[in-house]
Structures are given as C-alpha cells and as structure tokens.
Amino acid sequence: MHYWDETNILLFLVQVALLLGLARGLGEVFRRWGQPSITAEILVGVVLGPTVLGRVAPGFHAMLFPDDVTQQTMLDTVAWLGILFFLLKTGLETSLVTALRQGPPGAGDRLERSGPADGRGLPAGVVSARPVPLPGAHAGGSRGHATAHPAGYRLPHDVAPNA
C-alpha cells in the first residue's frame, strides 16, 4: 500500500498548477491569435511530457513527474475524473435529434472496418514486419478514433465567435 505524505501532496499541487496554468495561459494566447485553445492545451501536454521535457531536461522532468506510484496515481486519478466529466458534458450537450438524423448508428465505423486496418495498401516501410491481427488492428483504430472525440468536440466551441 502506498501512503501520501506532505511532499506528495505539494508535488501534486505543483503539477496541477503548472499543467492548468500553462494550458490556460497559452490557450488564451492562441485564442488571441485566432487559433483554438485546445491546440495550446495539447501542445503544453506534449512539451511537459517525456517527449520534449523528458529529453531536453530529464532531471527536471524526473523531479517534476517522478516514477513514484503514489504520485502517478494521484495525477492519473484527476486526469480520469477530468475525462469522465468531459464525456458527461459532451453527452449532455449532444442533440439526440441531430444525431439520429445523421444516419444509422455505426455508419462511419463500417468504413473504418473495411479500410486497410491491417496495413494493406500502405508502403512496406510503414507496416511492421509482423502482421497485426485484424481484431487488434481494429481495436487500436477504435482507440485512436475515440481519443479524437475530445478535440472534435472542443474545436467548434473554441473557434465560435461568441465563445
């Protein structure tokens, strides 16, 4: 069992303040430039993550986001709660009448399943040498499709003139 102490809570508050502060601040800058603020929020996540900060300043990244299970669990819990509330808000704002007029459920998924989910038609350098089973490829594509929904939902709200 992992227990919290004051250093875990302080570091957690610093992480949340840094992530939210930079995302909000850069989002306002992007909004003034006429760009959606979600672009800035994604950019902050990439820059503070292991992709950029972890390679440029690995010591600072390890200090800010340590490999401690307790610390990761605290940040992951808040992230999952944010995703849950975001999906709840998306569901509450979805117009069922408009959704039903768009066509039968899963009409867009049929095209996904019939496409090159297993890599057929892609250049040989793009596809791995080991074949991917179709259910696994479809599951990966579905996860990628599902993670695009937050951006697809936020973009119209971010670029609306009265937002």
If one compares 98 and 51, the residue with the highest pLDDT of the two is 51
List, in order, residues 6 or more apart from 142 with CB less than 8 Å away. Answer: 109, 112
More confident residue, 162 or 45: 45
Question: Could you tell me the residue ranges of all domains in the chain?
Answer: 1-92, 104-116+129-163
Q: What pLDDT does 121 receive?
A: 53
Q: Which of 28-32, 59-63, 82-86, 149-153 has the least mean pLDDT? A: 149-153
pTM of the full predicted structure? Answer: 0.60
- For the segment 155-159, the average pLDDT, to the nearest whole number, is 61
Q: For residue 95, which amino acid is it?
A: S
As a whole number of angstroms, the distance between CA 63 and CA 53 comes to 11
Tell me what percent of the residues of the chain surpass a pLDDT of 70.
61
**DSSP designation for 49:** S
Per-residue tokens: 81? 């709660």
| Mean pLDDT computed over 56-83 | 92
Q: Considering only CA atoms, which of 21, 13, 147, 156 is closest in space to residue 93?
A: 156
In this predicted model, which residue has the larger pLDDT, 152 or 109? Answer: 152
- Residue 32: enclosing H or E segment and its boundaries? helix 6-32
Per the CB < 8 A criterion, the answer to whether 146 and 138 are in contact is no
153 pLDDT above the threshold of 70: no
> Which residue is it, tokens 């995703």?
83
Amino acid at 148: A
Which of the two residues, 21 and 130, has the higher pLDDT score?
Answer: 21
